[in-house]
Amino acid sequence: MNDIIETIREKDPGEREFHQAVTEVLESVKPVLDRNPEYRRAAVLERIVEPERVIIFRVPWMDNEGQVHVNRGFRVEMNSAIGPYKGGLRFHPSVKLSIMKFLAFEQVFKNSLTTLGMGGAKGGSDFNPKGRSDHEIMRFCQSFMTELFRYIGPHTDIPAGDIGVGAREIGYLFGMYKKLKNEFTGVLTGKSLNWGGSLVRPEATGYGCVYFAAEMLATRNENLENKTCLVSGSGNVAQYTSEKIIHLGGRVVTLSDSSGYIYDEQGLDQDKLEYVKHLKNIKRGRIEQYAEKYPESLYFQADPLLDHNPLWNHKADCVFPCAFENEIQQKDAQNLISNGVRLVCEGANMPATLEAADIFMNSNILYGPSKAANAGGVAVSGLEMAQNSMRLNWPAEEVNNRLKIIMQSIHQTCLEAAEEYGEPGNYVAGANIAGFVKVVNAMLDQGLV
Ligand code: NDP
């Protein structure tokens, strides 16, 4: 196991996030390999850490002043053992190969946990959409798709949104794909409702995350009612995580963006949340404006020189990181535990560093890792694909019920896998083991490909 981690470090030095994601999974699956020597003989670990295909391409585009820009586009097709590649596209200046590989690797196990037949992939670009006009976004998306269309398709690879890629971007990407291929197929998910999108897809990751948290709390005869919750981020996942917490009687007291965070001791209600949705999704404003609109709340500017994030220093029962990878550092985890937090449920992908995750796992809190807790988004994307194939639209209630059942089933699967391998109550081990076993068994069935 250590040899494999050493090998990927030597082969791909500098891919810090990818090494982190691999280390976490490999540490969990050791007992599975000990019990199944055929996995070692078939070198499943060596195969699963190597992407099936990596596509890197140039994305030239012109801004409104006629200036030409060149960004880098990526698609990492990690594993297709249990279905066509599936995973989001991220547009953010921090995008690089290591981030794409870590996200694609996580996606393989997450998709496996959903019980739907989807392989794992991730893509995106180091393009920064912030401050760009709709026309600039459209030109960028069109240029991006002019290359990507060669590698994707409704039975091959079905991208979706992620950070910086919402309904607007999916629309522009889809439009160009349709023109190039001369076909109207479900090649992307997260589409708008009037041309093939699924009801509840925008809500799915956040709602699913809270359904997962509710399942975890139920194991201790608790629920979210009157619980004080810290939520980070203010994008898609943060908005709908907050909404479902509010529905279930919890009190959301924080939201953030990359510039800072707000603290509202009274808690958000649906009206305040609608203001945030409008501010972020329509006006594309900053969370600081929340504190101007609601003077009873406080705004704290981010300080990049700090070794911790003061957002995680507020006293709370439950914590939902919904912004970015590694947003919870070791010191943040220590602060949360000393402040008596009882549940951490990850809406963002890998929001805790390895050190922070260790602190959570070694305490007596409920800790739901991202690949299980935020799988609701891709699960409903899978349901969108099913509806597209049938040319049918299911009502919101049906999609929401299916989402709830999938999250309950993922929760149960994690608990059972953890129990079976001697780690009762360890959701990290359970998610990694259950996701891994299904994928490697399919790989063995399909031979050395
Ligand atoms: P959005 O782009 O809608 O929102 C991202 C949020 O994170 C914004 O509030 C953004 O602020 C904030 N943010 C970005 N960078 C930083 C930073 N360095 N520090 C603090 N905050 C930051 O993305 P999503 O809500 O879709 O994604 C959030 C997380 O959830 C990501 O980890 C994503 O991979 C994961 N996820 C998303 C799914 C989905 O269905 N959308 C599915 C599963 C996981 P700002 O506006 O300043 O950039």
Same domain, 232 and 137: no
Spacing, Cα 199 to ligand 1 middle (Å)? 21
Task: Report which residue type is found at 257.
Answer: D
Structural domain includes residue 248: yes
Domain-terminating residue out of 373, 388, 420: 373
> Both tokens of residue 154?
């409704």
Question: Could you give the CA distance from residue 8 to residue 19 in angstroms, rounded to a whole number?
Answer: 7
Instruction: Give the chain's length.
Output: 449
Same domain, 171 and 262: no
Q: Is 359 in the pocket of ligand 1 (CB under 6 A)?
A: no
Same domain, 209 and 174: no
pLDDT at 1: 77
Q: Structurally, how many domains does the chain consist of?
A: 2
Same domain, 208 and 101: no
Q: Is 163 in the pocket of ligand 1 (CB under 6 A)?
A: yes
pLDDT at 310: 97
Q: Which domain holds residue 322?
A: 204-373
pLDDT at 135: 98
| Atom 11 of ligand 1, nearest CA residue | 257
181 is catalytic: no
Same domain, 147 and 218: no
Residues 6+ positions from 183 with CB-CB distance below 8 Å: none
State which ligand 1 atom lies nearest to the alpha carbon of 166: 3
Q: Is 74 in the pocket of ligand 1 (CB under 6 A)?
A: no
pLDDT at 62: 98
Q: Is 71 in the pocket of ligand 1 (CB under 6 A)?
A: no
DSSP bridge partners of 130: none
Spacing, Cα 346 to ligand 1 middle (Å)? 12
Structural domain includes residue 143: yes
Adjacency order of strands within the sheet including 260-263 = 298-301, 260-263, 251-257, 228-231, 318-320, 343-345, 366-368
Same domain, 177 and 213: no
Asked whether the CA dihedral 77, 81, 85, 90 is positive or negative, the reply is: negative
**Domain CATH for 119:** 3.40.50.10860
Structural domain includes residue 439: no
Chain segment 367-411, per-residue pLDDT in tens: 999 999 999 999 999 999 999 999 999 999 999 999 999 999 999
Same domain, 215 and 364: yes
Structural domain includes residue 436: no
| Atom 37 of ligand 1, nearest CA residue | 162
Same domain, 283 and 333: yes
Question: Could you give the CA distance from residue 7 to residue 265 in angstroms, rounded to a whole number?
Answer: 49
Our CA angle for 209, 213, 219, nearest 5°, is 150
DSSP codes, 350-378: S-B-HHHHHHHHTSSSEEE-HHHHTTHHH
Helix axes 376-390, 97-113, angle to 10 degrees: 70
| Atom 38 of ligand 1, nearest CA residue | 162
Spacing, Cα 348 to ligand 1 middle (Å)? 7
> Both tokens of residue 377?
């988004």
Same domain, 210 and 339: yes
Q: Which of 89, 243, 258, 320 to mutate to test the pocket of ligand 1 (most atoms within 8 A of CB)?
A: 258
**CB–CB of 81/442 below 8 Å?**
yes
Domain-terminating residue out of 354, 373, 392: 373
pLDDT at 2: 84
Task: Report which residue type is found at 342.
Answer: R
Q: Which of 90, 234, 324, 346 to mutate to test the pocket of ligand 1 (most atoms within 8 A of CB)?
A: 324
| Atom 14 of ligand 1, nearest CA residue | 258
Domain-terminating residue out of 336, 355, 373: 373
| Atom 46 of ligand 1, nearest CA residue | 257
Q: Is 318 in the pocket of ligand 1 (CB under 6 A)?
A: no
Spacing, Cα 221 to ligand 1 middle (Å)? 31
Q: Which of 110, 122, 280, 371 is catalytic?
A: 122
Same domain, 229 and 152: no
- Residue 88's nearest CA partner among 135, 177, 152, 5 is 152
Spacing, Cα 322 to ligand 1 middle (Å)? 6
pLDDT under 50: residue ranges of the chain: none
| Atom 4 of ligand 1, nearest CA residue | 235
Task: Report which residue type is found at 38.
Answer: E
Chain segment 223-261, per-residue pLDDT in tens: 999 999 999 999 999 999 999 999 999 999 999 999 999
Same domain, 259 and 320: yes
Same domain, 133 and 170: yes
What do you get for the CA distance between the two ends of the chain, in Å? 22
Question: Could you give the CA distance from residue 163 to residue 123 in angstroms, rounded to a whole number?
Answer: 11
